[in-house]
Amino acid sequence: MNVKEIFETMEYGPAPESAAEALAWLIDQGDRFGHFIDGEFTEAGEGFTSKNPATGEVLATLTQATQADVDAAVAAARKAQPKWERLGGHGRAKHLYAIARLLQKHARLFAVLETLDNGKPIRESRDIDVPLVQRHFYFHAGMAQLMESELPDREALGVCGQIIPWNFPLLMLAWKVAPALAMGNTVVLKPAEYTSLTALLFADICRKAGLPKGVVNIVTGDGAVGEMIVGHPGIDKIAFTGSTEVGRKIRTATAGSGKALTLELGGKSPYIVFDDADMDSAIEGLVDAIWFNQGQVCCAGSRLLVQEGIAGRFHDKLKARMDKLRIGNPLDKCIDMGALADPVQVQTVRDMVENCEDGEIHRVNAQLPAEGCYYPPTLITGLEPSHRLMQEEIFGPVLVSTTFRTPAEAVALANNSRYGLAATVWTENVNLALDIAPKLAAGVVWVNATNLFDAAAGFGGVRESGYGREGGWEGLQAYTRPRGKAKPIKQVLPHSGDRIDAEKVDRTAKLYIGGKQARPDGGYSRDIWSKAGKHMGEAPIAGRKDVRNAVEAARGAAGWAKTSGHLRAQILYYIAENLSARAEEFAHRIDAAPGGHGAKEVETCIQRLFTYAAWADKFDGQVKGVPIRGVALSMREPVGVIGAICPDEAPLLGLISLMAPAIAMGNRVVLAASEAMPLAATDFYQVLETSDVPGGVVNILTGSHEELAKTMAQHMDVDAVWSFSSSDISGPIERESAGNLKRTWVNNGMARDWMSSQGEGRVFLDAATEVKTIWVPYGE
């Protein structure tokens, strides 16, 4: 074909990338791999084959890890961790820098091996995955260097168990290993069964970088190996990326263990196109959103929402663009779409599409390779928002679509999902884009772009897309904890007595729900006695219906999140003012409690209210320095409805220490007062009633912590549960929270000094907020 014919036909390639070097590396290893434990590869054992999904060719044989292998890896990591942490930030930074440099030197080898093992186009592994991997190690080398000066009150967690998926094998490794090592942790990592080869090549790089033995350990195998890691008592933190179903099981399995947990799970991300959008750009962006990596992306823009006036034209242009997608050998640099990761995944996608009897299905009429795990790009239009394919993650090259009329309807449709990982907004109206982005239930929002990632910008979801962030300063929280060791908490039990003052006028304590005093639905109360055995009154016993009513009231007060920080600050100051006016009365009430120091506790309460009033309009986001022509805005948003089990030992201060940061950040709270001494809380709602707190923002219940916590953790409209009870309820809360994967913050039976700096600060504000990253590219 001559140059004139090329220009006339505009035919591509082929432009094959050589696999010789990658195959030679496999041959050098004997095409058989053991595990990487304590700085050495173990002897290969019984296991399974790793195949090229584009051809079915066997690439290598991998070893199925046993419990003994996992034990050995954890033991090596545990032994290495103290020395690795003591190496200091600069010492760790040098090692991470060395790894980053070696990743650059062997970039093409990693890219080719990733494509052979995973099936993604070489252009993607070469130009996106591997450069991002390098970026993460460079970025976190800097984080290690800065840790001692910028995070002086934080320390490493210890040994981290990390489980990664098959869609981005090397990139997910970098997202997890780099921050863990930077903060002084050691790791035991399990790559996906299908795609372990680049993890093993990374292990080889660690040896070349001189990484101390035991800092990084890699064990291969199926899901049973992941279960061994999750359940291992020698691991301090679990980081998992994968399906929501498995994430829910991990949350249940780790409940009550004290293990830190971050989950980056599934998604059904909306791709919203308004009628003023640059249509051609929006279509190119959509190609990247859904057919990048064959649609095997947790944040894929798999749910297309198009404004009704342009829907017909948009779909027509999209179909024309789809038909030009090139599908074939992933090592061909001219290919747009390669192979799915495994035949099982191909069959899953095929079954979901073939079982769809609604809408209009458009498949690309392309000649697929005769062998390999290929599936054609597919568009399904005309589905109802409730349709299974509009709600469930397909995890393949399948796009589903519906239409909307108004921006409000677009937001409603976008948020009509149990997921909340990412979203895309396409419009030429920047005012509209920045109005819509904060309203979307998603951890990441792209404006006029899609699939932008960087180590400086946090990534992660809300709802059933998981919790925790990877990347940025916020990502380091998952790999550190406050310095020092906490002491076990002593259970505070109610007192008993027999001294009753018959001449006193009865003072009826009630629940506080929706801004009003309310009797308990069950109609039961219990006696409250002072430490001297004197009858102080009766407290209502709240039940499931009272929790339901309180949560409904909190949901109804959603407007609180939209108020300004300045307004919330004024109300917190007003609460402090009104509490101060009754300080002597509250001090007297607290003095009767076990270990009560009334005057000091009330004064600390007032100071704490002032602290969070001060923070209400100052705990803000950041503009991240990402390597694009644009900005990545890291925005702080309220979690939503928080159920909080208050400390028993500090009946008023504990309640205020949880309430104040939560409402300062725009949340609404359902508070379970101190079980042993609840009457200070039932007095406190009188202060709230006179302090302009909108009804439903603060709700106060009294009763059994065990019963109230279980109900809150099970409630699908509660977004987070905090517990600082002296009762042993951390495990049940974490276990029951798996239903909708709500956030939890529990004390795991350890005490906190509420009178000191432990009782306030950024850790409470972090727990009261979610970080949303909004990417806004600019320029022509």
Q: Sheet with 58-63: list strands edge to edge.
A: 32-33, 58-63, 47-51
| Extended strands (E) in 3-93 | 32-33, 36-37, 40-41, 47-51, 58-63
Helices 197-208 + 88-105 axis angle, to 10 = 120
- Residue 356 CB burial class (10 angstroms; 0-12, 13-18, ≥19): middle
**Could you give the CA distance from residue 148 to residue 150 in angstroms, rounded to a whole number?**
6
**Could you give the CA distance from residue 720 to residue 209 in angstroms, rounded to a whole number?**
42
In what helix (H) or strand (E) does residue 159 lie, and over which residues does it extend? strand 159-163
Considering the candidates 160, 206, 298, 299, report the single residue annotated as catalytic: 298
| 3-state SS, one letter per residue, for 475-511 | HHHHHEEECCCCCECCCCCCECCCECCCCCCCCCCCE
**Could you give the CA distance from residue 379 to residue 687 in angstroms, rounded to a whole number?**
58
- Residue 46 CB burial class (10 angstroms; 0-12, 13-18, ≥19): exposed
Closest CA to 772 of 612, 597, 639, 676: 639
- 624 Cβ contact list (under 8 Å, min separation 6): 454, 456, 457, 472, 631, 632, 633, 634, 773
- Asked about 298 being catalytic, the answer comes back as yes
The tokens for 279 are 């249509």
- Asked about 605 being catalytic, the answer comes back as no
Instruction: Tell me if residue 528 falls in helix, strand or coil.
Output: strand
Return the bridge partners of 630, or none: 777
Inter-CA distances, 183 with 152, 166, 263, Å: 11, 26, 19
CA 677 vs. chain centroid, Å, equals 36
Secondary structure of the chain: what % helix, strand, coil (to 5)? 45, 20, 40
Peptide bond into 482 cis (omega under 30): no
Helices 107-118 + 20-28 axis angle, to 10 = 90
113: left (phi over 0), alpha (psi -120 to 50) or beta: alpha
Closest CA to 232 of 257, 261, 251, 213: 257
**Could you give the CA distance from residue 163 to residue 239 in angstroms, rounded to a whole number?**
6
Count of CB atoms situated within 10 Å of the CB of 371: 11
For residues 723, 728, 732, 737, the Cα torsion angle rounded to the nearest 10 degrees is 10
The tokens for 259 are 């293990």
DSSP per-residue string spanning 647-669? -SSSTTHHHHHHHHHHHHTT-EE
**Could you give the CA distance from residue 68 to residue 72 in angstroms, rounded to a whole number?**
6
464 touches 266 (CB < 8 A) = yes
Considering the candidates 85, 264, 637, 734, report the single residue annotated as catalytic: 264
φ, ψ at 49 (rounded to 5°): -100, 150
For residues 707, 713, 714, 715, the Cα torsion angle rounded to the nearest 10 degrees is 100
- 260-264 and 466-467 as β-strands: parallel, antiparallel, unpaired? antiparallel
715 touches 453 (CB < 8 A) = no
**Backbone CA torsion sign across 597, 600, 606, 608:** negative
Query: Among all residues, which ones are annotated catalytic?
Result: 264, 298
